[in-house]
Structure 1
Amino acid sequence: MTQPTGAGEATDFLYPFIDAQERDPRALLADLAASARAKATESAALRRATLEAGADGLATAGAEMARRFAAGGRLFTFGNGGSSTDAGTLAALFARPPVGRALPAWSLTADQAILTALGNDVGFELVFARQLIARGDAGDIAVAMSTSGSSADLTAGLREAKRRGMYTVGFAGYDGGQFATSRDVDVCFVVASQSVHRIQESQALLGYQLWATVHEHGTDEA
């Protein structure tokens, strides 16, 4: 999970009732319930707007990914922090789906030995690019997940993926960061929010919808 400098969320912004001098437990519970409802409403609205804004990209990326899977392509996902967890979840959805055909997919953050070795030997900026050099081929797919869309290791990974002929997809928040304007990103999904929490909630739904769209197109080998 990445976030631009200075964009931190103060506790009183997220949970204004925590620092309040409230001694009535009933009033505090009411504040908690109101806060939960407000956040759920905000999250639902953002997810709907994000799916609408990303409809064309989902159709385009889903069709191309399905075509590549059918031709023997593989999926590699990667991200930092919380986005690393989201990338792993997305890879697992393709590799071990609740229904439908299992597809070859791996998270590039899953192996601690590889990450720490590359971080120590060549620098953290190259931990994904070096793995794609070793494992990625033309016909494969790379998905980078981020909140800022500008992390150096992710942009380096996408650049290497594009150089190798892979299809590249970026997930970003805020204004899309570097992902939104990069020639190394074939399709970029931007969650237009300043909240890391809301961004990642919407990205999770986007990832699920991308998986569903791929299967709608069919992935059986020709």
Structure 2
Amino acid sequence: MTQHPRGTDRLAEATDFLYPFIEEQESDAESLLVDLSASAEAKAAESASLRRATLQACETLVVAAGVEMARRFAAGGRLFTFGNGGSSTDAATLAALFTRPPSGQPLPAWSLTADQAVLTALGNDVGFDLVFARQLIARATSADIAIAMSTSGNSADLLAALHEAHTRGMYTIGFAGYDGGAFAANPDVDVCFTVESQSVHRIQEAQALLGYQLWATAQAEGEQR
């Protein structure tokens, strides 16, 4: 009987949740491919459905936020985005969309996770909960915009930054999943976009589309000014 290395066993256990229908002794390649294809199609359909529902549910908020962002950009305001883990890359992507758009006018935007020296210095010297708030203290004004991206809406460093931004008169936007977490109904958050899903993957996919729609709305509103 073939012995599998223990490392292989651990890898299989770690990935079982992704494809629970794949059995350890699966030997029918054609059947396996059919199952994989069906799983991929189901995930794609679920993602598309959630994105459509989220855009529809957030349509009024997206328009209102886009109009306010355009007003602030026209007055010299800037956008600061931030998040943790995968949401930090989403925040960086959103900032890049504003600064290097596929069309229209580039707008000033920065991701507060971009500078590793600043991020690690603040984390070491004042604590991780303040890595974004302290950057806003140093760089932001009341004319600016803050966007915090999260799947839970509960991260302490994001909440501290949103509180600092709101105190300084910035326009604050939160992206969250599940039920919105602490971002929802928060006086420090002017607009909260909530993706009502229990899947981190689906939440971030829907947030990406929301971010694009927010940029498109702000861009279109800016062109009319």
Assess same fold via TM > 0.5.
yes
Does residue 206 (structure 1) correspond to residue 216 (structure 2)? The answer is: no
CA shift for structure 1 position 16: 1.2
Structure 2 residues without counterparts, runs of 5 or longer: 1-13
Q: Which residue of 2 aligns with 1:55?
A: 59
Q: Which residue of 1 aligns with 2:136?
A: 132
Among 75, 80, 86, the alignment partner of 1:82 is: 86
What is the TM-score with the length of structure 1 in the denominator? 0.93
| Greater mean alpha carbon deviation, residues 138-147 or residues 11-20 | 11-20
List 4+ stretches of structure 1 deviating above 4 A: none
CA shift for structure 1 position 12: 3.8
Among 54, 78, 99, the alignment partner of 1:95 is: 99
Q: Which residue of 2 aligns with 1:3?
A: none
Among 119, 123, 127, the alignment partner of 2:123 is: 119
Aligned length: 212
CA shift for structure 1 position 21: 3.1
Does residue 192 (structure 1) correspond to residue 190 (structure 2)? The answer is: no
Does residue 33 (structure 1) correspond to residue 37 (structure 2)? The answer is: yes
Q: Deviations over 1:65-113 (max 9, x none)?
A: 0000000000000000000000000000001111100000000000000
What is the TM-score with the length of structure 2 in the denominator? 0.91
The answer to which structure, 1 or 2, has the higher relative contact order (CA under 8 A, 6+ apart) is 1
Q: SS where residue 142 of structure 1 aligns?
A: strand
Q: SS where residue 171 of structure 1 aligns?
A: strand
Report sequence identity in percent: 75
Q: SS where residue 184 of structure 2 aligns?
A: helix
Does residue 171 (structure 1) correspond to residue 175 (structure 2)? The answer is: yes
- Asked whether the 8 Å contact 1:67–1:219 carries over to 2, the reply is no
**In 1, Cα distance between the equivalents of 2:133 and 2:173?**
15
Among 66, 70, 80, the alignment partner of 1:66 is: 70
CA shift for structure 1 position 18: 3.5
**In 1, Cα distance between the equivalents of 2:222 and 2:148?**
23
Structure 1 residues without counterparts, runs of 5 or longer: 1-9
CA shift for structure 1 position 19: 4.0
